[in-house]
Amino acid sequence: MSLPEAFVEKLSQIVPREQFQSILKTFDAPKQITFRVNTIKSSSKELESQLESANIPYERIGWMEGVYRIAPQDKLRLTQTDAFYGGKLYIQNLASMVAPLILAPCPEETVLDLAAAPGGKTLMLAGMMQNTGWLSAVEPTRERFFRLRANLEMQGVTNAHTYMTDGRSVGKKCPEMFDRIMLDAPCSSEARFKTHEPKSMSFWSIHKAKETSKLQRRLLLSAYDALKPGGKLLYCTCSFSPEENESPLQHLLERHGEHLITLPITLPFNNLQKPLKRWGKEVFDDRIQNAVRILPTDTIDGFFLCLLEKKVC
Ligand code: SAM
């Protein structure tokens, strides 16, 4: 199956012209498999020795400790290892690992994951917090909530508290409570499209991004309310659409811009693009230029990230 025509046309208006064709090819190719050691239950040394015993060739990802890449055909064997069954590793795209790395929670902090299931980022946040402090994980969809709970249990996370509730209500219930907030917002998942998996694109339409944008705006306002002065908020999506990235941030800055700064994001690879300065009739606040769009390759998915800090008054 091919990508929706309207999506291809829209994407051509977003990403740099020189990279457009190579980006299109990433939707066809099988992705390399990446995973990371679960530091709550294991170590790089132990995991590497288990991979060697299972005869699975791996490559270390140089810029992130305890993260590995294997060929797509070795995925099945990886999921048959004791390390996998014992929750000692977690298979995850590099783009998803970058988000907790940028939010950088510390042990003993109070952290909120506002759209948490199935929990890939929650698990990594818990590891970075060394299973200490307080980690709230919110997910309103029942089935996904229980999957989140099962993943947290399987991976030995004990500092997380899970809530089956709508993230839009959290800011008013928990004002200025959190040091760090992850908002990996529900989105049209454009960066997850795969031409060999028609289901990955079946819910997409040109209107989807606009609809989702409304929810994202309200989640961002809720996250802002829940953030302590001096606290940090990471907003991210796996969508290319400006309606889901620059626009919700613009809305937040229009409401609370005097209390917010954006922080520059530095990443150790080149497939990055600065946010758009305008889209349609919308002109975006200069502060949004500190956000970043990761352009997809055969190893990393497309992603959008913006790190904000609430000023101390
Ligand atoms: N952070 C997750 C991870 O790394 O595994 C992925 C999160 S996924 C991009 C977005 C999640 O937001 C979905 O599980 C979806 O069910 C949830 N969601 C949808 N509406 C929501 C709402 N109103 N409040 C909070 N979460 C919501």
Distance in Å, CA 166 to ligand 1 centroid: 10
Is the beta carbon of 141 within 6 A of some atom in ligand 1? Answer: yes
Is the beta carbon of 146 within 6 A of some atom in ligand 1? Answer: no
Helices (H), the chain: 5-14, 20-26, 44-53, 75-78, 82-85, 94-103, 120-128, 142-154, 170-173, 208-226, 246-256
The answer to whether residues 65 and 181 belong to one domain is: no
Give pLDDT, residue 154: 97
pTM for the whole thing? 0.97
238 is annotated as an active-site residue:
yes
The answer to whether residues 144 and 177 belong to one domain is: yes
CB atoms within 10 A of CB 255: 14
Q: What is the CATH number of the domain that holds 227?
A: 3.40.50.150
The answer to whether residues 86 and 227 belong to one domain is: no
Total count of domains within the chain: 2
The answer to whether residues 82 and 136 belong to one domain is: no
* Last residue within a domain, chosen from 63, 92, 121: 92
The answer to whether residues 112 and 56 belong to one domain is: no
Q: How confident is the model at residue 227 (pLDDT cuts 50, 70, 90)?
A: very high
The answer to whether residues 183 and 226 belong to one domain is: yes
The answer to whether residues 20 and 62 belong to one domain is: no
Instruction: Work out the angle between the directed axes of helices 208-226 and 246-256 (0-180°, nearest 10).
Output: 40
| Those residues with Cβ within 8 angstroms of residue 19's Cβ, 6 or more apart along the chain or in another chain | 271, 295
Distance CA 77, CA 31 (A): 16
Is the distance from CB of 33 to CB of 81 less than 8 angstroms? no
The more confidently predicted of residues 205 and 106 is 106
Is the beta carbon of 138 within 6 A of some atom in ligand 1? Answer: yes
Give pLDDT, residue 203: 87
Is the beta carbon of 115 within 6 A of some atom in ligand 1? Answer: yes
Work out the average pLDDT over 77-103: 97
3-state DSSP call for residue 126? helix
Distance CA 273, CA 169 (A): 33
pLDDT over 80 (residue 1): no
One of 187, 236, 238, 306 is an active-site residue; which one? Answer: 238
Mean residue pLDDT across the chain: 96
Measured from the Cα of 113, ligand 1's closest atom is: 1
Give pLDDT, residue 171: 98
| Those residues with Cβ within 8 angstroms of residue 266's Cβ, 6 or more apart along the chain or in another chain | none
The answer to whether residues 81 and 160 belong to one domain is: no
Best residue for ligand 1 mutational test, from 94, 125, 139 (most atoms within 8 Å of Cβ): 139
What percentage of residues in the chain have a pLDDT greater than 90? 93
Phi, psi of 184, rounded to the nearest 5 degrees: -95, 85
Is the beta carbon of 100 within 6 A of some atom in ligand 1? Answer: no
- 234-270 pLDDT, tens digit per residue, is 999 999 999 999 999 999 999 999 999 999 999 999 9
Q: What is the CATH number of the domain that holds 37?
A: 3.30.70.1170
- Domain residues for 70? 32-92
Give pLDDT, residue 209: 86
Place of tokens 């946010």: 275
